[in-house]
């Protein structure tokens, strides 16, 4: 995926954004009769230009930018993943899709474009001014699927292709034209091209931020795509990895000595880097699965793209180091980073130095941190003890934003998700999730899934009827509510939180007298195994509703919700 906050695909003499957007709108209408924004999908090119130009008038000087042109471009693999997700087919080119499939495919990218614009608004960090979502931005956009070879392309330079020829494969990208002024009451000036600055309390009287953190925005867009589509992104394809590699290459070209790390600094980096935390971060990302703790050792199972997670743990991790029993790999944290991040020794040190994603992503909100990974809470060391302060109804914007990014309404979130306030290492954190029967809290966010304050087990939501519904996780349950147009249920609900917790599910069912049991775990290898174990233990007294909800090994309940929401979008006049 490639993201740019301002890219005008016009000749240099026409690429000024200090006047009307008319030339850009005309250019973008070559393959589209209509534009979309956050609420409409049948905007004519005349209206699209009028929306941007009229809103950009007033309070902007002659020499100031009036609009910007963000662009989201998707890789061939990402597009093929979407096709496989929507149609369960393996197409190699956009032209292989039928007319109806092209329409549905296009609609899905409109949906994604709106979610990315939600992250655009969020990343301005101006909720105090009423800028919270894409609806608070004034923008229009189009989805395009063709790219042609340019003179600078290698294939043209060596004579294999000609300028203007269509590129093969999937080349889907989204062009946005966005007004400099927001859609809030004050019509605040905002720019995704302004540099990000953090203002200290000493200088400005309060902790505040100005500008636009583009690095954070790129990560938000990437994470939103991966969360919504279940795309398994290789480490080498992640923005942070590319940024790190690019920086290292630049530094190497400039001066190899600049990458040298003194022994004293190296010792401090290693002292601050917990190998246990690192392995829990891999579990948060879905690379590994945490199984159990044996003495001082934490046991993890490895994931295989074809077979799923191994049934038993194969990696043992302790503060002393790790050992992979499946292949004999062992060592300390640098060796682990080299293996799992595919980095050399020096790159691994820089990875640890920059804490690339496994030590506390924190967002500040009213002097309280919103915790985005709880790896340290699982180490069990005195250094990382967790104290649950309170649980309450959800009010934190960042928690709500995550679940909304999964297609869940705010009413459903507030009716079913708990806000957990806790302390760790003398810092106060907030996470969103649900408690389980072992006293822990299963929480998750944009780039993590974790457990705080206890061990993993099933969660039970007590109801008032004699019906039980079984799901794998909280997002599955919330998606089911949304699909059925309700925000809460009177039925008793079990969240397995892992199909390995099947014994707890069976024990709970045997202790009750439910007249009706619906099963809605995932329809994958783990879900099928869970279903068989449940059938063997209690007999065929439950309703397996997975086929009814059109679930498959590639479509879970949240996927089903998103697909249904996308089907409600139709870009009229789209040229097949």
> At which of 309, 336, 354 does a domain end?
354
The structure tokens listed for 324 are 């992979």
Determine, yes or no, domain membership for 256. Answer: no
Last residue of a domain, one of 354, 378, 395: 354
Look at residue 311 in the predicted model and tell me its pLDDT: 56
CB burial readout 66-104, b (16+ within 10 A) else e: bbbbbbbbbbeebbbbbbebbeeeebebbeebeeebbeb
From residue 94, give the alpha-carbon distance in Å to each of 74, 76, 576.
Answer: 13, 10, 10
Dihedral sign, Cα of residue 231, residue 234, residue 235, residue 237: negative
The domain tally of the chain equals 3
Q: The domain spanning residue 153 has which CATH number?
A: 3.30.930
- Can you give the pLDDT at residue 67? 95
Residue 240 forms part of a structural domain: no
pLDDT classification of 574: cutoffs 50, 70, 90: very low
pLDDT score of 303 = 66
Structure token pair of residue 288? 């590994």
Q: Is residue 96 part of a domain?
A: yes
pLDDT band for position 308 (cuts 50, 70, 90): low
Q: Which residues pair with 433 in a beta bridge?
A: 418, 443
Residue 359 falls within a domain, yes or no?
Answer: no
Give me the pLDDT at residue 508, please: 97
**Angstrom distances, CA of residue 478 to CA of 169, 443, 557, 565:** 36, 14, 9, 14
pLDDT at 147: 85
**Does residue 346 sit in the same domain as residue 400?**
no
Q: CA-CA distance, 229 to 481, in Å (whole number)? A: 20
Residue 262 to residues 250, 256, 269, 333, Cα–Cα distance (Å): 20, 14, 11, 18
**Structural domain containing residue 181:** 2-195+211-232
pTM above 0.85, yes or no: no
Are 88 and 228 within one domain?
yes
Whether 249 is covered by a domain: the verdict is no
542 neighbors 494 (Cβ within 8 angstroms)? no
Residue 62 predicted with pLDDT over 50: yes
The whole-number average pLDDT for the span 493-511 is 95
Query: Are 415 and 543 members of one domain?
Result: yes
Instruction: Render pLDDT for 138-155 as a digit per residue (tens, 0 to 9).
Output: 999 999 998 888 887 777
Average pLDDT on 316-326 reads: 91
Residues paired with 364 in a beta bridge: 369
Residue labelled with tokens 């969240």: 495
Domain membership flag for residue 205? no
Q: In 14-102, which ranges are E strands?
A: 34-35, 43-44, 67-68, 71-73
Mean pLDDT of 535-563: 91
Q: Bigger pLDDT: 431 or 514?
A: 514
Q: Is residue 366 very low, low, confident or very high in pLDDT (cuts 50, 70, 90)? A: very low
CATH number of the domain enclosing 344: 3.90.580.10
Sign, CA torsion 341/343/348/352: negative
pLDDT computed for residue 482 by the predictor: 94
- 33/165 same-domain check: yes
Task: Work out the average pLDDT over 100-113.
Answer: 94
- According to the model, what pLDDT value does residue 198 have? 52
Residues 6+ apart with CB under 8 A from 438: 454, 455, 456, 457
What are the counts of helices (DSSP H) followed by strands (DSSP E) for the chain? 18, 27
**Range with top average pLDDT, 1-10, 138-147, 293-302, 321-330:** 138-147
* Residues 473 and 556 occupy one common structural domain: yes
pLDDT-above-70 percentage for the chain: 82
The C-alpha R_g of the chain, in whole angstroms, comes to 25
Tell me: pLDDT of 268 over 70.
yes
Mean pLDDT, the chain, rounded, equals 83
Is the confidence at residue 379, as pLDDT, over 80? no
Is position 107 within any domain?
Answer: yes
Residue 374 has pLDDT above 70, yes or no: no
Identify whether 252 is part of a domain. no
Q: Are both 504 and 544 inside the same structural domain?
A: yes
Alpha helices in 406-495 (DSSP H): 410-416, 474-483
At residue 470, does pLDDT exceed 60?
yes
């Amino acid at each position: 995926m490639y993201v740019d906050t301002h890219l005008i695909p016009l000749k240099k003499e026409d690429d000024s954004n200090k006047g009307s957007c008319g030339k850009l709108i005309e250019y973008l209408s070559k393959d589209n009769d209509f534009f979309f924004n956050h609420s409409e999908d049948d905007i004519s090119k005349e209206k699209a230009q009028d929306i941007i130009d009229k809103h950009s008038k007033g309070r902007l000087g002659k020499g100031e930018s009036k609009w910007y042109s963000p662009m989201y471009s998707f890789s061939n693999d990402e597009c093929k993943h979407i096709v496989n997700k929507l149609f369960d087919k393996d197409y190699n080119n956009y032209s292989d899709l039928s007319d109806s499939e092209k329409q549905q495919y296009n609609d899905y990218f409109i949906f994604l474009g709106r979610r990315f614009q939600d992250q655009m608004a969020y990343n301005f960090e101006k909720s105090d001014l009423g800028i919270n979502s894409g609806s608070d931005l004034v923008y229009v956009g189009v989805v395009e699927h063709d790219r042609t070879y340019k003179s600078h392309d290698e294939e043209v330079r060596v004579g294999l292709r000609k300028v203007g020829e269509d590129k093969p494969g999937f080349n889907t990208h989204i062009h946005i034209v966005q007004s400099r002024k927001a859609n809030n009451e004050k019509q605040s000036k905002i720019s995704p091209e302004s540099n990000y600055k953090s203002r200290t309390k000493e200088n400005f009287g309060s902790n505040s931020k100005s500008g636009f953190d583009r690095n954070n925005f790129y990560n938000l867009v990437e994470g939103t795509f991966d969360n919504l589509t279940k795309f398994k992104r290789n480490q080498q394809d992640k923005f942070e990895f590319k940024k790190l590699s690019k920086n290292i290459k630049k530094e190497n070209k400039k001066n190899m000595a600049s990458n040298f790390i003194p022994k004293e600094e190296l010792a401090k980096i290693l002292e601050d880097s917990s190998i246990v935390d690192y392995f829990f971060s891999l579990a948060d990302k879905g690379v590994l699965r945490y199984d159990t703790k044996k003495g001082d050792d934490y046991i993890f199972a490895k994931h295989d793209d074809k077979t799923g997670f191994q049934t038993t743990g194969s990696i043992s991790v302790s503060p002393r180091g790790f050992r992979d029993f499946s292949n004999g790999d062992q060592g300390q944290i640098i060796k682990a980073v080299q293996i799992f991040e595919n980095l050399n020794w020096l790159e691994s040190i820089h990875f640890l130095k920059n804490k690339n994603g496994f030590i506390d992503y924190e967002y500040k909100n009213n002097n309280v941190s919103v915790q985005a990974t709880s790896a340290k809470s699982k180490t069990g060391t005195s250094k990382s003890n967790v104290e649950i302060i309170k649980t309450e109804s959800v009010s934190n914007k960042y928690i709500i934003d995550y679940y909304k990014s999964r297609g869940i309404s705010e009413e459903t979130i507030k009716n079913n998700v708990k806000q957990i306030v806790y302390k760790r290492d003398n810092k106060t954190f907030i996470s969103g999730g649900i408690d389980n029967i072992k006293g822990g809290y299963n929480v998750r966010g944009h780039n993590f899934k974790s457990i705080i304050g206890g061990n993993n087990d099933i969660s039970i939501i007590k109801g008032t009827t004699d019906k039980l519904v079984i799901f794998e996780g909280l997002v599955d349950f919330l998606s089911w509510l949304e699909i059925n147009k309700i925000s809460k249920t009177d039925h008793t609900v079990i969240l397995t939180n892992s199909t390995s917790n099947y014994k707890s599910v069976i024990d709970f069912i045997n202790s009750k007298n439910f007249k009706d049991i619906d099963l809605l775990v995932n329809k994958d290898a783990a879900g099928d195994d869970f279903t068989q174990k449940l059938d063997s233990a209690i007999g065929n007294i439950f309703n397996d509703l997975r086929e009814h909800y059109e679930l498959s090994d590639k479509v879970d309940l949240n996927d089903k919700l998103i697909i249904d929401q996308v089907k409600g979008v139709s870009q009229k006049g789209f040229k097949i």
